[in-house]
Amino acid sequence: MKTKRCSRADHKGSAVLPLSEFPTNKRKPDGHQTYCKACARRYDKVWRVQDRKKHPEKYQHYQRAYEEQRFLATPPWVEKLQILALYEQARTLTKETGIKYQVDHVVPLKGKHISGLHCLSNLQIITKDKNLKKSNKF
Ligand SMILES: [Zn+2]
């Protein structure tokens, strides 16, 4: 098995990893990045947080679009109190377990093929990790 050493100084754990653990990059001599996937993910996250702080206006648009989408997807018969309770439940779970829980739309509000509603039957509590992995897929 071909291995490679991660070039990042802040790499956690053993820095020698299988080549498959490095993102591909055709411009590099061996076709892979000099840093591993875990470092890339960590770096990406830090970059996004910093970028958000530096250019909040770049992200406002997304937030507004999301709120508008949610408003449009909210049926008039929506179970407001129960939904608020669900969000409260997610917050409580986060506090009690130390794991970040979020309220997720089972069918995304703006899916590729179908769009879900912002109503109780389309909401579920899941961990933040799961939510990020799920992204906008359904
Ligand atoms: Zn690394």
Q: Tens of pLDDT along 34-80?
A: 999 999 999 888 898 899 899 888 888 888 888 999 998 998 888 88
3-class secondary-structure state, position 104: strand
Residue-number span of the structural domain to which 21 is assigned = 1-46
Tokens of 106: 């089972």
- Distance from Cα 41 to the centre of ligand 1, integer Å: 9
Same domain, 96 and 135: yes
**Position 16 confidence tier, pLDDT thresholds 50, 70, 90:** very high
Same domain, 37 and 77: no
Residue 127 has φ and ψ, to the nearest 5°, of -75, 155
- Distance from Cα 132 to the centre of ligand 1, integer Å: 21
The answer to whether the beta carbons of residues 109 and 138 sit under 8 Å apart is no
- Distance from Cα 40 to the centre of ligand 1, integer Å: 7
pLDDT digits (tens, 9 = 90+) for 88-103: 999 999 999 999 999 9
Same domain, 60 and 33: no
> What is the C-alpha separation between 102 and 7, in angstroms, rounded?
35
- Distance from Cα 73 to the centre of ligand 1, integer Å: 42
Same domain, 98 and 132: yes
- CB-based contacts of 27, cutoff 8 Å, min separation 6: none
- Distance from Cα 2 to the centre of ligand 1, integer Å: 16
- Distance from Cα 22 to the centre of ligand 1, integer Å: 8
- Distance from Cα 128 to the centre of ligand 1, integer Å: 23
Same domain, 30 and 69: no
- Distance from Cα 14 to the centre of ligand 1, integer Å: 9
Same domain, 123 and 67: yes
**Position 112 confidence tier, pLDDT thresholds 50, 70, 90:** confident
> What is the C-alpha separation between 62 and 90, in angstroms, rounded?
23
Same domain, 18 and 80: no
Same domain, 12 and 59: no
Same domain, 66 and 93: yes
Half-sphere exposure of 66 (CA within 13 A, CB side): 8
Same domain, 40 and 84: no
Is the predicted pLDDT of residue 134 greater than 80, yes or no?
Answer: no
- CB-based contacts of 63, cutoff 8 Å, min separation 6: none
pLDDT, position 102 = 94
Q: Which residues pair with 102 in a beta bridge?
A: 126
Same domain, 61 and 34: no
For the chain, the domain total comes to 2
Same domain, 4 and 33: yes
